[in-house]
Amino acid sequence: MEQKRLCPYCMGELPPAADSCVHCGKVFAGRNPAGCLPVGTVLAGRYTVGEMRSLDGEGILYRGVENLGCFRVTIKEYLPVTLSAERGADCILQPKTGSEVLFKTTRMDFADLYRALERITPATGLEAVLDVVEANNTVYAVMENLGGTPLDQWLEAQGAPLRPDNACAMLQPVFEGVAAMHKIGLVHRGICPENLRVMADGRCRLAGYATVGLRTAGSGLREQLYEGYSAPEQYSTAEFEGRYTDEYGLAAVFYRMVCGQAPVPAAQRMVSDSNPRARTVNSAVPGYVSDVLQMGLRLKPMERIQTVPQLVQALASKEYTEELGRTMKPETPVGQPEEKAHLLSIKGLLAGILILLAILLVLMVWTMVSHSLPSASSGSVEPEPASSEVLEPQNLVPSFIGMDYAQVQNNREYTGMYLFYVTEEYSNTVPAGQIMTQEPAADTVLKAGETIRLVVSKGPQKVEMPSIIGFSQDAAVQTLQSRGLIASCFMVVNDGSYAAGCVVSASEPAGAQVDVGTVITVYIAADPSVEITTPPEEPAATEPTTTPADPETPAGGGDPAADPEQGTK
């Protein structure tokens, strides 16, 4: 039986083996450059390849059509230019001699990446991966045709910088999508205005997925880094990348949106950090937002804001930003490694001690000379009467920050010498029971009877998981957001038992106590006519506390739950 094939231009059905379209008249031959798949090629009996859109060091992006559902798609072919030999007329891709092992391992990385994305998309803010096809000795990722306007073009058309609250609203779906990627161990590494699309509703979605090799200098692939948006650790294979790498990209995009210009490229900043603060570029940026971006764009990964929820909460709360600034590791100046800074601090201490000894020596000599001089009135030295004043020893305040409060309570030396006033505050950055701040500061002279004020962390703030079963997707997302939770939505199979577009299950049961900022996986019933074939895996970091019920359970028999081994294309 002949496979159904559509014209990639007009989507009209083509006769078997046609090399041009009988509907629009387009001729397929010669449309794509040599080395690309010819226009009209069919993959997996389901997708017709169209014209090449772009090429990077990892592969080729084509326009395409899904023949069965008659809708447009984007197809990315794994074709690393540094590892691939010339392709013949049979379209089979072969590695260069000597590159066979690296070709195979990076091809596996490509397939694993897009299969993982296929399991979590469609998720809010992410371009959906619909299918992964192996053919021609390579791999093809089939994605939705996202549409929209690239953010860099949209910002150029705007002209003026955005207000921070408007930028937050536009990027909110992207924050949620990146957080969902991080929960299953994926890092995007290419977050920049070029890979963000502004949709018709004014909100952004993220595309431009790639393996670690494409987004890391010196990996063996022809790297694709984005000046101003790629993090410092991406410029060397010796540096480890993690969630904080995407956090740098998000902070850089936000900086561009509110300042009207991109940050200074990281490679340049590592030589001499001349990147201006956001408030210096645009005085309308609130001081705390400028501080957040400063912390998000730090060059050393361990000194940077670490997670997307931290970044989002800091951009929304001046108080949280101040707490984060108090608890984060201080930034090391560029060109002065931590070891060098530590050595300089020791040298400074030794210099101070030597100066103090010199002053004491001068004072001793002066005292001896003054006592040996004759009195101006009697010609002899009269001893001065001894002072009756007794100097009390000065008591310096110790440093309590970072200690467990239980250590202070159980230390008789502390409790016998000092009076404490203790308060507690929630913190997503400091473990429960640990001291966050103190007043007076360490090494301050403590006056008699003065109290030391300590603020002890209560750990992350907990909220009660609301009951959202039966809610529409928008209502569920808004309800979770109102409690400081992040929704990551998945479509699941629906045999008609559930109302289409409504929540059938969530990764946390109603009434459970969860941390503010937690990503909640929300399962939405698809339209019964939608074919669902791809089984998504539940993100490891968001395990349900109870086993979801069978999707066939009738409504009213407890909370209905969608099988997490089902997903949609």
Q: What is the pLDDT of residues 394-450, one digit of tens each?
A: 578 888 998 888 888 888 778 777 888 888 888 888 888 899 999 988 888 877 667
For residue 393, what are the CA distances in angstroms to 76, 144, 408?
74, 74, 23
Kindly report the pTM of this predicted structure.
0.61
Domain 462-542: assigned CATH number: 3.30.10.20
- For 149-327, the fitting CATH number among 2.130.10.10, 1.10.10.10, 3.40.190.170, 1.10.510.10 is 1.10.510.10
Q: What are phi and psi of 67, to 5 degrees?
A: -70, -30
User: Please, which residues bridge with residue 74 across strands?
Assistant: 63, 143
Spans of all domains in the chain: 42-101+117-144, 149-327, 394-460, 462-542
From 51-65, 333-347, 500-514, the region with the lowest mean pLDDT: 333-347
From 244-248, 279-283, 299-303, 406-410, the region with the lowest mean pLDDT: 406-410
From 218-232, 314-328, 535-549, the region with the lowest mean pLDDT: 535-549
**C-alpha 10: how far from chain center:** 39
The string of pLDDT tens digits covering residues 107-121 is 999 999 999 999 988
Indicate the pLDDT class of residue 377, thresholds 50, 70 and 90. very low
| pLDDT > 90 fraction of the chain, expressed in percent and rounded | 50
Per 3-state DSSP, the chain is made up of helix, strand and coil in percentages (nearest 5) of 30, 20, 50
User: For residues 392 and 430, which has the higher predicted lDDT (pLDDT)?
Assistant: 430
The string of pLDDT tens digits covering residues 310-367 is 999 999 999 999 988 888 877 777 655 544 445 555 666 677 787 877 887 877 777 7
CA distance 425 to 432: 9
Q: Which of 488, 504, 498, 508 is nearest to 549 (CA)?
A: 504
pLDDT at site 57: 87
- For 394-460, the fitting CATH number among 3.40.50.2020, 3.30.10.20, 3.30.300.90, 3.20.20.140 is 3.30.10.20
| pLDDT > 70 fraction of the chain, expressed in percent and rounded | 84
pLDDT at site 390: 42
Whether 462-542 and 149-327 are alike in CATH topology: the answer is no
Taking the CA atoms of 24, 26, 32 and 38 in sequence, report the sign of the dihedral they define: positive
Average confidence (pLDDT) over 51-79: 94
The conformation of residue 302, written as its DSSP 8-state character, comes to G
In terms of DSSP H, where are the helices of 260-398? 266-269, 278-281, 287-296, 308-316, 318-327, 338-372
Indicate the pLDDT class of residue 89, thresholds 50, 70 and 90. confident
From 31-40, 286-295, 477-486, 541-550, the region with the lowest mean pLDDT: 541-550
Domain 42-101+117-144 - what CATH class? alpha beta
